[in-house]
């Protein structure tokens, strides 16, 4: 017996003129721009309870969001913690990161920080101290503070933007780096602007258009 159904074959059917891109956006002149990944900082205020960090980190791995760093720490309210995440995603991905985070029950509020937000990271760098004078000169250049020293090593604390820390580590490397430990980025909105606070719960979920926040992140 003949198997299958009757009807015009695929090549006999009309086909629509349009197309979508991989992000499900119809390609037409208005929204044609493909979205390139950009690095940005997302701050989340969460209930300070067991399992929140694993909820958040699990979400990122499960949904294959590209994260560069994730830091967590207490706030002035002992029932709340702040999680700061540096992600690198195209705009629709950043949008998804925010929405998926907001969906987690212990998450109170989520916000992508403006490019001018204050961003800081701390690094401990342990170097060979065979040439203490030169090491100290480099430390001064980067406002690094000596934390520990031994006959063979010196350890410095450097605080600042990602670029500053990378530059410092690069410069220190001439002496021979033993170990580097970095905290990842923490950040805060400037002035009276709120980073991610309790009153931001009813956030607009309805941004139809992307592209208002695409200027490159200035890390300092």
Site residues (CB under 8 A) for another protein?
1-10, 13-26, 31, 47, 50-51, 54-55, 58, 62, 92, 95-96, 99-100, 102-108, 201-202, 205-208
Instruction: Say whether 102 sits in a helix, a strand or coil.
Output: helix
Residue 82: is it exposed, middle or buried by C-beta count within 10 angstroms (0-12/13-18/19+)? buried
Q: Which residue bears the tokens 């580097």?
A: 180
Least Å distance between CB 68 and another protein? 22
Q: State the minimum distance, in angstroms, from the CB of residue 84 to another protein.
A: 19
| Minimum CB distance to another protein smaller for 35 or for 119 | 35
Q: 131, 151 in Cβ contact below 8 A?
A: no
Tell me how far, at minimum, the Cβ of 111 lies from another protein, in Å: 14
User: Do residues 43 and 196 touch, judged by C-beta distance below 8 A?
Assistant: yes
- Least distance in angstroms from the C-beta of 210 to another protein: 9
Degrees, nearest 5: CA angle 25-27-29: 125
User: Which residues, including other chains, have CB under 8 Å from residue 62's CB and lie 6 or more apart?
Assistant: none
DSSP state of 20: B
Tokens of 104: 């987690």
Q: How many CA atoms lie within 13 A of 91 on its CB side?
A: 16
Min. distance of Cβ 83 from another protein in angstroms?
14
Least distance to another protein, CB of residue 186, Å? 22
Q: Which is nearer to another protein, 54 or 192 (CB)?
A: 54
Closer of 45 and 185 to another protein (Cβ): 45
What DSSP line would sit under 137-201, residue for residue?
Answer: HHHHHTT-EEEEE-SSEEEEEEEE-HHHHHHHHHHHGGG-EEEEEE---EEE--TT--SS-GGG-
């Amino acid at each position: 017996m003949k198997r299958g159904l009757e009807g015009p074959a695929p090549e006999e059917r009309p086909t629509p003129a349009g197309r979508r891109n991989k992000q499900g956006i119809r390609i037409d002149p208005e929204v044609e721009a493909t979205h390139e990944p950009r690095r940005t900082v997302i701050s989340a205020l969460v209930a300070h309870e067991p399992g929140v960090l694993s909820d958040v980190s699990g979400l990122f791995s499960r949904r294959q969001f590209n994260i560069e760093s994730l830091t967590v720490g207490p706030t002035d309210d002992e029932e709340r913690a702040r999680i700061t995440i540096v992600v690198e995603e195209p705009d629709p991905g950043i949008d998804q990161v925010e929405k998926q985070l907001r969906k987690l029950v212990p998450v109170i509020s989520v916000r992508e920080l403006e490019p001018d937000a204050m961003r800081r990271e701390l690094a401990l760098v342990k170097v060979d101290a065979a040439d203490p004078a030169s090491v100290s000169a480099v430390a001064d250049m980067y406002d690094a503070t000596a934390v520990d020293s031994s006959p063979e090593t010196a350890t410095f604390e450097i605080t600042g933007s990602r670029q500053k820390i990378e530059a410092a580590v690069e410069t220190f490397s001439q002496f021979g780096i033993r170990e580097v430990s970095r905290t990842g980025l923490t950040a805060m909105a400037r002035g009276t602007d709120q980073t991610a606070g309790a009153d931001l719960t009813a956030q607009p979920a309805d941004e139809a258009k992307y592209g208002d926040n695409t200027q490159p992140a200035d890390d300092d």
